[in-house]
Chains A and B, each alone.
Chain A
Amino acid sequence: MPTQRFNNFKLYTVLTGILLFTGSCSEYFNLTPPDGLVLDEYWKTKEDVEATLMGAYQQFAKMDENLFLYGEIRADLIIQDNNTPADQRNIISGNIFATNSLCYWGDFYKIINHCNNVVKYAPEVLKIDKTFTEFKMEAFMSEAIFLRSLAYFYLVRIFKDVPYVLEPSDNDNVNFFPPKTSGKEILSNIKSDLKEVRLKIPTTYNTIEEIKGRATQAAVDALLADICLWNFEYDECLTYANNVLNTNSYFLQPSSKWFELFFPGNSLEGIFELQFDSQNGQSNSLYQNTYVLNYYEASTYAMDILFPLLSQEIIRGRGSISSESKGYKIWKYCGGAPDQNTVRPGSISGSCNFIIYRYADILLIKAESLSQLGRYDEALTLINEIRRRALMEEVNSQNTPESFEDLILIERAKEFAFEGKRWFDLLRMGRRNNFARKKKLIEIIVQNVPSTQKLVIASKLTDPDGWYLPVSSSELESNPNLVQNPFYAN
């Protein structure tokens, strides 16, 4: 009997022992989901890094219509047409609610996420892929930092304060609910990022599409100049503007070839353009929206300053606004020739690049900084260079910062009409010197608005917080750490 019991005892201990040991192996419970690529299987070669980087460029390209809208819809160069979507009509008439689709910033953050991925994992790939040189890795990371900084520059100008996300969303433990960081801080951070990568980024590439479509040192300098101008740091701005001038790789297009900036694009003057090629299936959205679907029309002010019959702007007018028979449409994205009538051929209708920076922009940025620093003659020379190229008479102006500001504002409106810059130019003027010229901004905007709305919109623009868009309501709901822009808080 005792042996029997002892045998039983042995049996039971062995059994429980086996159970305990097997229970502790948690490997049995680590299952990978059957579909989907797992993180550690992806980042293996330099092609993977480049693919993610290209994903960021492509996501930027998808946003061409939005980049256009953010820079034009609240300004005075376009008005709504028959088919303008309701959300856009609401913004034009000043009824901006947090439910508006333009308050959705997800597309920018997709770009930022791709770039964050590149920055985090390119060094990892360097260790694995022997064909990946450190030089190339730094180049890719610099491009990613340029795109990320450009995305944040847009976000700060549109929303003022936004979450500053630097980590890619690659696992469940990432903080998905970041609060806002002040725009000032974000800009100062991206400036230092850009200054650091200036020298690591290529100055040129093999194909023309890459030279104009990928980030180059000149693109970084252009962005730095723009950021410094936004921050009113004029001397620093001049440094970067001069960097671009000194490369001697960018020139103003000759007057007769001004329209080549847009058709076919990738001209001598372009510094950074979002690339499109309908023949390869990469069409932009702006052709459809400006030409086919009748979303926008040139405003009275745009007509006054650009339409050839009213303004004598032969070069720029003929290339910017279509004829009456075509409906005064925005011509840069659908025109085939600077004659206000010939449309782009069907096979390449959606191929017009969206220009983010071009040489003329750098010249006028430089002129703006010079005039604010009191160097009026130099500024005037640059302004007149642009005007000469447009076959317009040279101008003169009183030597005060305000006069020059007005002059440059008009010149920029004529040169960069519909290129997504006007609203940001106006905001710069409104913010300068602690909102000294806020009234002028209100005056300009209100002229473009129907009479019953004028007084209402003027009141809405008195609070500078109202110059920015609200955070979208769905984003506020899903992120409890976000607070709404105080102008829209009620």
Chain B
Amino acid sequence: MMNEVKAKIVGLCIFSSLVLSLSYSCKKEVNNFRTEEQFVSIAKYISSDTTQFNIFFKMIKEGKLLDALSSYNPNGKSYTLFLPTDSAFYAYIKQNNNYSNITQLLTDHDFINVLVRYHVVNSEFRTNDFPFGALPDTTLSGDKLTIGFSNDLDTTIYKVNNVAPVINANIEASNGYIHIISKVLEPIVFSSYDLMKLNPDYSIITKALDTTGLKDKMGFYTTNDNGNIIKNIYTMLVEPDSIYHKSGIYSIEDLISHVKPINGNYSSEDNSLYQFTAYHILDGSYFLDNFENSVNYNTWASLPVRVDASFIIKINQGVANFGTIISGKDTSIINYIEPNYNESNILSKNGPIHIISEVMNLYKPARSERIYEFYEEPLIYNVKNVVNTYQFTMDKFTVLTWQGVNEIKYIKSSSNAEMSTNKDYIQINGDFSISYNISKLLPGRYSVKLMANAFSQQNAIIQIFIDDHRVGGNVNLTSGGTSKNPYYEFVLGEYEFSTYTTHIIRIQSLIPGNFIWDYIKFTPV
């Protein structure tokens, strides 16, 4: 009996220990199963395609950009990478005489650093966002890239810097977009003059730049009125030799007889050869999509160039009758100069170069309305497309100066409720006096209009002076706007400019307060 019981107990214990050990030994596998990533990072995309992008991947590692391209963009929204294929690099080596093979290229650390950064833009752009001109944001190396369009029957081919066709676009990555290009983008190292000099098709205009001495003013840097050294930014409109030939000009001597100067002192500013040549250089950087309609653009000569950019860009419309086109039953007269769309937007360190269709002689256009929105100030011009609030102190500014307050703000907004032109304005608060050095405008009588926020009780009451002459009465900024649109265009009066020169607008607070300034406008009367 006891043995039976003992046996039963022993059996029971064995059985239960077996079961218990079974249950405790099967530990649940810890599964670090995670969600599948929808998109991989740019770096991962490049490294995962070993057939096409080996070389660029090596360059990223060499140029210390691997970390950045595998993470989010801490200095901007996302990245846009223009990714050259391996065959693009082989073509580059062949064409370029500095390196005999890829390995040698990879040893030039400084160049690689700049080269890889030159292919990455600091924002995200899909082909839908491509402008016909420069991308609004810079590359990681601080330069701008341009996009050209060429329409081929049924498709559009995008060309970066007008040289590198995009063969596969809009590849979405977790930290930006990738567009694959079939040529390597070379960082710009030439000035506009250098580019002209290197190209034998532009010998006549280059000779003119040499003869007039303008070439010395076309370097990378220049000195501004305050004595500061700033980047030398200008736009060139040039004619190739073939266009000169059409007008019977085959050499620099022919050009000289075409412009009929008084004397041989070609480097003097009064000399008509100097004026003719300087007329081809515009102040500021304007890609083809930056030209606005019915605006006079200042040049290095004593007259501006007039551009009407509606459907087609017309330069100096009315200057001469160049011909007619008949299409269907429409007959249109060509009395303007046009840029060559497929070959313009050429990048240099100074700005774009555009090729034009006719010889551009000096022409005094009708006065145009001028709106001044502080874009002459390089610091503001560089950020005018990037939404943010900027605080500036005066030591960095060249065109705007102020007293009475320490800093001013430049605000660029993206909200639909923002009613200022281009959604940007400057703001200054207190008992201030601010001076704005506006660029040249053609002499004549203008109606002066000031656009500012006029809806808040905190706003100031201001007085406006042009070249130290009082214009208009006291402007009360506390009333005039509405709750929907707080901006109001105050008509200050009329002012007559006697010379084609720069002017200083000074605005002073009579009763201190807030001043939100959108623009100042001059309309010819």
Contacts and interface: CB of A to CB of B under 8 A. Distances in A.
* A joins B in a complex: yes
Interface of A: 86, 94-97, 398, 402-403, 406, 443, 446-447, 451-452, 454-456, 458-460, 462-464, 490
Contacts of B309: 451
A463 B156 contact: yes
Interface stretch (B283-291, B372-380, B428-436): B283-291
B129 A95 contact: yes
B190 interface: no
Given A403-B328, A451-B292, A490-B170, 16 more contacts: A95-B129, A452-B131, A452-B289, A452-B290, A452-B292, A454-B310, A455-B289, A455-B341, A456-B130, A456-B149, A456-B289, A460-B156, A462-B151, A490-B126, A490-B127, A490-B171
Contacts of B126: 490
B311 A454 contact: yes
Contact of B155 (A97, A455, A463): A463
Contacts of A451: 291-293, 309-310
A402 B291 CA distance: 34
Contacts of A464: 154
Nearest to B153: A462
Contacts of B288: 455
A95 B128 CA distance: 6
A459 B311 contact: no
Per DSSP, are chain A's interface residues mostly helix, strand or loop, or mixed? Answer: helix
Given A95-B128, A455-B132, A460-B156, A406 B416 contact: no
Interface residues of B, number: 30
B91 interface: no
B290 A398 contact: no
Contacts, number: 58
B345 to A, nearest CB: 11
Interface of B: 126-132, 149, 151-156, 169-171, 288-293, 309-311, 328-329, 341, 416
Which 5 A-B pairs rank lowest in CB-CB distance, beginning with the nearest?
A490-B170, A455-B132, A459-B156, A459-B149, A451-B309
Given A455-B149, A456-B131, A463 B154 contact: yes
Nearest to B155: A463
A490 B149 CA distance: 17
Contacts of A460: 128, 156
A377 to B, nearest CB: 19
Contacts of B128: 94-97, 460
Contacts of B132: 455-456, 459
Contacts of B328: 402-403, 406
A317 to B, nearest CB: 24
A456 to B, nearest CB: 5
A147 to B, nearest CB: 35
A398 B292 CA distance: 37
Contacts of A97: 128
A94 B127 CA distance: 12
Contacts of A95: 128-129
A307 B496 CA distance: 37
Nearest to B172: A490
B424 to A, nearest CB: 16
A458 B289 contact: no
A462 B156 contact: yes
B246 to A, nearest CB: 26
A443 B330 CA distance: 13
Nearest to A447: B311
Given A95-B128, A95-B129, A406-B328, A462 B311 contact: no
B177 to A, nearest CB: 9
Contacts of A402: 328
28 contacts: A95-B128, A95-B129, A97-B128, A402-B328, A403-B329, A406-B328, A443-B311, A446-B311, A447-B311, A451-B292, A452-B131, A452-B289, A452-B290, A452-B292, A454-B311, A455-B132, A455-B149, A455-B289, A455-B341, A456-B130, A456-B132, A458-B151, A459-B149, A459-B156, A463-B155, A463-B156, A464-B154, A490-B127
Nearest to B328: A402
Nearest to A466: B156
Contacts of B153: 462
B428 to A, nearest CB: 28
Nearest to A460: B156
A443 B292 CA distance: 19
A446 B292 CA distance: 15
B227 to A, nearest CB: 36
A94 B128 CA distance: 8
A33 B329 CA distance: 70
A443 B325 CA distance: 16
Contacts of B169: 490
Contacts of B127: 490
